[in-house]
Amino acid sequence: MQQLPPEKEELQGRLESLEKTIGNLTAQLSQENVRSSPIASRTLGQPGRKERRSSVNGYLPLDNVSPINESHTPAQAQSSSFYRSARAQQEHRGPEAHVPSAEVRTKLIDNARLQKDIEPLALFMFAHSLPQAPIELYESLLDAHWTWIQPIYNFIYRPAFVRGLCNESNSPYFSPFLLYALLAHSARFCRNYPVMLGYEPLINQFWEKAKGLLVEELEKPSSVSTVQGLLLLSAIENSRGRTSQSWSYSGLAFRMVQDLSLQLDNQDSVNGVQLTDEDVEVRRRLWWSAYFWDKLLSVYFGRRPMLREVPNSPPTVLADDSTEHDPWIPLSRNLTNYIPQPGYAVSCFAAACRTATLLDQLLERYYGNGAASQGVQAEDEDLMAQAVSLLSDLPPQLQISNNLPGHHHIVVLNCLINSVIILTHRPHCLSTFHPTPDTIAQRCLDSADTVLQFARTHFSAYGDCNFVSIAWSIFTASTIYALHVAGMPPSQRSCPSAQKFIETETMLSRIAESCAVVQLAAKAVGDQVHKLGIQDPTSALIIDTNNPSSISNALSVDADPFHNLGEHDPFSIEPDSFANMCNSFFFAQNSWDPAYINQDP
């Protein structure tokens, strides 16, 4: 008999090992009883009433979390028939109506563990279809996604993806387009990995291949894998500063979300096709992932969200919470003394979804047709209280000590929440910024300091930062330091806030080396640092540094995406003009431009 080549012998041996592993696991799983979990059937929503808090630590027990759809909304939003009908129906149904059975949970969790065990071999079997490279390179790229992206964004349901990797032709949750989009996106975080040495050209090859396959995908009916790939392409273009491309890819994804009816909670069938338990899990996760990404792009670009909740939106219940206690190990770091800790990925995604719902309310309050009038009203106080509660109601495992580095995704979450606190408070202290105890200005300054401290620990723990979300939080914090310093006489502008303002410029400049999109924000902050007299003035921007209101006006018109626009509806303005005039200038081409600063909204 003819002897097999060495590589085929290795493959045959690994296949035999896989068959034996699957047989053992199947026998083991069939004997196991239904497991219970401290976070079983976790809902991703707002904390309930205050009296339900634990008397021990002041935080809500993890089991007692009500769905996002029952979150408190501002009076203005409640007056809308859209919000009233959606919230009322969700409250009528209640979270208990959608809590998966123990049998469903066990089946999904057991399958998740099985798919995770066979993932390396599944990738090995599929590698023959990929550009020639060591299998370790592809393993590192997949690990980068599961480590840095998945815990907070949850774009891809891993078990379904891995099973599709094994059997591409029969899986609706995998496609070569999705795989190449994932590889192209993950390559951003692996450029300096030793395994990438000599294979740098593959990064562009992954990107071009993904774009080529997208053309084929768009000729087919909408699919989950196409939505997931488009979200990843949107994230790539976002980091590159290609705003229009990122907005276009995300727009395609959001349209497909609606085409697939992911905004509706169909537990039985869609278009006559029966849904399995895994189908329901995938659809719910992808809806909330797309919803979260939609809100992030809205605050990045200063544009209106595309995805909104409807009366029959999916509840925020995760049946598979197997990743909550999986160890989270940062990649490409010296792990000699590192002790793996649980990743708390389910809790983190839950809090991210809560934050997204509040961002949606903020955009409705300050950007909607009924824009808020001058002065702090009851609706504004309610939004500020909700923003602060996002932080105070975090479970203990998602809180970070200022002196200790947290998991990357938990750092991102905390920075995001503190940025939301700033955005809910900042519009009400633009004209006069005097931080004293228990004032709105002091609340902004506290959150800015927290963001800066978390950014410091992140740089210290994980090295260079490639994450736009952290850069946006740093920039948001910098606007508070600008307001604080501008309110001081020139002789006092060596205060701590001035030095922190300089530090934010340094951080943004460092991030901009790997994220082109941050270059504009870094330059805008640098211009203000010099113009405020903290360093030798070099900017040509005309702002009276002795007049704090000039800085306030700059922030309120050109930098504050939640600026009170009175009776004007900014969504009636052509999108690019609106971005230039009113967004956070994170992506604006005319940051701090007097032509826009002096323009009436």
Residue 78, pLDDT above cutoff 50? no
- N- to C-terminal Cα separation, the chain: 82
User: Strands 327-328 and 269-270: what pairing?
Assistant: unpaired
Distance CA 345, CA 386 (A): 23
Yes or no: say if 253 and 290 are a contact pair by the CB < 8 Å rule.
Answer: yes
The pLDDT score that the predictor gives to residue 55 is: 29
The pLDDT score that the predictor gives to residue 427 is: 83
The pLDDT score that the predictor gives to residue 249 is: 98
Residue 185, pLDDT above cutoff 60? yes
Encoding tokens for residue 286? 């992808």
Q: What's CA 346's distance to the chain center, in Å?
A: 14
Residue 365, pLDDT above cutoff 50? yes
Q: Is 269 exposed, middle or buried (0-12, 13-18, 19+ CB in 10 A)?
A: exposed
The pLDDT score that the predictor gives to residue 588 is: 37
**Whose CA is closest to 152, among 392, 424, 406, 514?**
406
The pLDDT score that the predictor gives to residue 321 is: 92
Q: What's CA 402's distance to the chain center, in Å?
A: 22
Hunting for tokens 């113009």 — which residue is that?
531
**Whose CA is closest to 582, among 542, 553, 543?**
553
User: What residues does each domain of the chain span?
Assistant: 102-315, 343-537
Please write the tens of the pLDDT for every residue from 569-598. 323 323 332 233 234 445 433 333 323 222
Give me the phi and psi of 400, to 5 degrees please.
-125, 135
Q: What is the dihedral of CA 63, 64, 66, 67, to 10 degrees?
A: -10
Please write the tens of the pLDDT for every residue from 375-398. 678 888 999 999 999 999 999 999
Helix (H) or strand (E) holding 342: strand 341-342
The pLDDT score that the predictor gives to residue 518 is: 86
Q: What is the dihedral of CA 111, 113, 116, 118, to 10 degrees?
A: -70
pTM, rounded to two decimals: 0.77
User: Strands 341-342 and 273-274: what pairing?
Assistant: unpaired
> 88: which residues sit within 8 A by CB, 6+ positions away?
311
User: Strands 317-318 and 42-43: what pairing?
Assistant: antiparallel
Q: What is the mean pLDDT of the chain?
A: 75
Please write the tens of the pLDDT for every residue from 214-238. 999 999 999 999 999 999 999 999 9
The pLDDT score that the predictor gives to residue 471 is: 92
Encoding tokens for residue 129? 């279809």
The pLDDT score that the predictor gives to residue 460 is: 82
The mean per-residue pLDDT over the stretch 423-435 comes to: 83
Encoding tokens for residue 253? 């994804």
Which of 65 and 367 is assigned the larger pLDDT? 367
